[in-house]
Structure 1
Amino acid sequence: MNPLKAFVGTLATTDKDIVYNTSKPIYNIEINSLQGNPIDLSEFKGKKMLFVNVASKCGFTPQYRELQELYDTYKDNLVVIGVPCNQFGKQEPGTSEDIEEFCQVNYGVTFPITEKIDVNGSNQHPLYTWLTKKFINGKQNSSVKWNFQKYLVDEQGEFIDYFYSITKPLNTRITKYLK
């Protein structure tokens, strides 16, 4: 079964250009860690979540350093979740083991990293469908343009905003929500 259909059920229905919200909580989405273990997003209730599609061989890869600093600074109120993706310039070609080693050795990453997924297209993971589709997240549509695009969700699992790759993790556009 299509993973989106399994998550959403019947997609939004239209009637004379009205789209009915079929939103579901982000906490119901299933995603695995790099090691293949389920990540229970509901464990992060009460904290903001910053989802970042990451890649090891991208010009934005040094943002791992600031993502770790952001996580360390705000870890009582925030969890950063790295989401490897190989859809942009094939810049995340490694296996789960390669990605884990790269993140730990080069950037000391301690925040959760998920399995490698598609963030766009017909195989888009339900997490990114939720993050990018207004009829599911209840707030706004977007599309993932490149590696290191960031999506912020509040303590109750509500969509806050997204930030393009050029917005560094410690930018006040992001940190203003964390204070």
Structure 2
Amino acid sequence: MRYIFSLVLFSLLFSFNIQKARSIYSLSIKDMDDKKISISAFHGKKILFVVVPVSSQDSLLDIKSLKGLLSKYDTSLVAIGIPAVEFGCQKSMDREIKALYQKMPANFILAGGMKVTKKSAEQQDSLFQWLTRRENNFHFDQDVLAPGQKFFVDEQGTLYGVLGYHVSFSNAVMDRILSKPSKNKNVADPANSSNNKKPGV
């Protein structure tokens, strides 16, 4: 009987720890200056995670529209731009990438480069293990296909929307997503599935 009780107690504690670990607020990132930033600092605001282009020559670069979006939602939204190793980010490019995004509004954070795709397996950054895998975020299972991929987290830490690179920051759907009250229905991009390929592939 004592053994059964201990086993049940262990199972409950184990389950609780798994649930806690799957909260996005338990995660952290490092910015381009290697400063650690806890995602929990943004509890109560919507968070837009976007995989950003790392070159001024990238056709998916749309800084002007991103600036406009951030200015419009300056008190309710934080955007975190992530340069992806899989799409050309290298440590030697830090200065170039920082210069590309140096005039962004205060509610934009440029993270350090990281591995973002599922094919990176155990090297995939813990943030993107959460964003791209349903077993961790409980809502979506969508890999990163290209720079411009967007993930939306609401004020309570729920992943409630994913949009692909083909949806610009000036698209009306961005306003519909960002103006949604928290605990609303999830917003998925039907064109953004694991069967899709990157531009030019």
Q: Does 1:101 align with 2:96?
A: no
Runs of 4+ in 1 over 6 A off after TM superposition: 20-23
Q: Cα deviation per residue 1:90-134 (whole Å; 9 max; x = unaligned)?
A: 2x3453222111212xxx223101010010112110111101000
Q: CA deviation at 1:21?
A: 7.6
Aligned partners of 2:60 and 2:164: how far apart in 1? 11
Mapping of residues 105-116 of structure 1, within 5 Å:
108-110=103-105, 111-116=108-113
Structure 1: which 5+ runs fail to align? Answer: 1-9, 11-19
CA RMSD of aligned residues (A): 1.9
Give the TM-score normalised by the residue count of structure 1: 0.80
Q: CA deviation at 1:75?
A: 1.5
Q: For residues 127 and 26 of structure 1, do their structure 2 counterparts lie closer, same or farther at Cα, with a shift above 3 Å needed? A: same
Give the TM-score normalised by the residue count of structure 2: 0.71
Which amino acid in the other structure matches residue 99 of structure 1?
Answer: I
Task: Identify the residue that residue 34 of structure 1 maps to in structure 2.
Answer: 32
Contact 1:52-1:150 at 8 Å conserved across structures: yes
Larger radius of gyration: 2
Task: Identify the residue that residue 117 of structure 1 maps to in structure 2.
Answer: 114
Aligned partners of 1:23 and 1:173: how far apart in 2? 31
Mapping of residues 7-156 of structure 1, within 5 Å:
24-57=22-55, 58-61=58-61, 63-88=62-87, 90=88, 92-93=89-90, 94-104=92-102, 108-110=103-105, 111-120=108-117, 121-122=120-121, 123-156=123-156
Contact 1:50-1:81 at 8 Å conserved across structures: yes
Q: Which structure would you say has the larger RCO, counting Cα contacts within 8 Å and 6 or more residues apart?
A: 1
Structure 2: which 5+ runs fail to align? Answer: 1-13, 180-201
Which amino acid in the other structure matches residue 75 of structure 1?
Answer: D
| Number of aligned residue pairs | 155
Q: For residues 21 and 44 of structure 1, do their structure 2 counterparts lie closer, same or farther at Cα, with a shift above 3 Å needed? A: closer
Which amino acid in the other structure matches residue 48 of structure 1?
Answer: K
Q: Does 1:171 align with 2:171?
A: yes
Contact 1:55-1:86 at 8 Å conserved across structures: no
Greater share of helix: 2
Q: For residues 50 and 27 of structure 1, do their structure 2 counterparts lie closer, same or farther at Cα, with a shift above 3 Å needed? A: same
Which amino acid in the other structure matches residue 26 of structure 2?
Answer: N
Q: Secondary structure at the match of 1:53?
A: strand
